[in-house]
Amino acid sequence: MIARSRSFEHQPIGEGNVRMLVTAILLVGCAHVGSNFDATSLDWLREGTSKQELQRKLGTPLRVGSDGGLATWTYGYYEYRLFGDSNNKDLVLRFASDGTVKSWTFATTFPEEKKKLDPALQP
């Protein structure tokens, strides 16, 4: 007599298991990297802003680097979607030798932020 393994027998999938599977697929369909920040309310940011003030208001930068000998910090938020558009934004700050902001740039692909930053942009 040949023994049958239960792992090869047909086992119906219960309704609860189907719900869990669908939920897992949907949850995996979207991922975020970095900390989200409101880019339209950076009016306090000026040349001369200290690293301490930046950390107090924005937290720890996602990346730290160098640009032509100047220290740089990058605050970024990246939203990846399995279905639909992925979006991202970056705030890159360059520091003078005294540790204060020398210059900064901001870029975004989030439609609502793009529209607030430049109302002339059409959808």
Q: Which residues contact 15 (CB under 8 A, 6 or more apart)?
A: none
Look up the pTM and report it. 0.71
State residue 6's pLDDT score. 52
Closest listed residue to residue 73, CA positions, set 40, 95, 52:
95
- Give a yes or no: residue 27 inside a domain: no
Domain limits at 105? 32-117
Each residue's pLDDT tens digit in the chain (123 positions)? Answer: 555 555 545 555 666 677 776 666 566 677 888 988 887 788 899 999 999 999 999 999 999 999 999 999 999 999 988 788 899 999 999 999 999 999 999 999 999 888 888 888 776
State residue 28's pLDDT score. 62
Q: What are the Cα distances from residue 47, in Å, to 41, 51, 76, 93?
A: 16, 11, 20, 10
Closest listed residue to residue 53, CA positions, set 93, 100, 90:
100
State residue 60's pLDDT score. 95
CATH assignment of the domain containing 36 = 3.30.1450
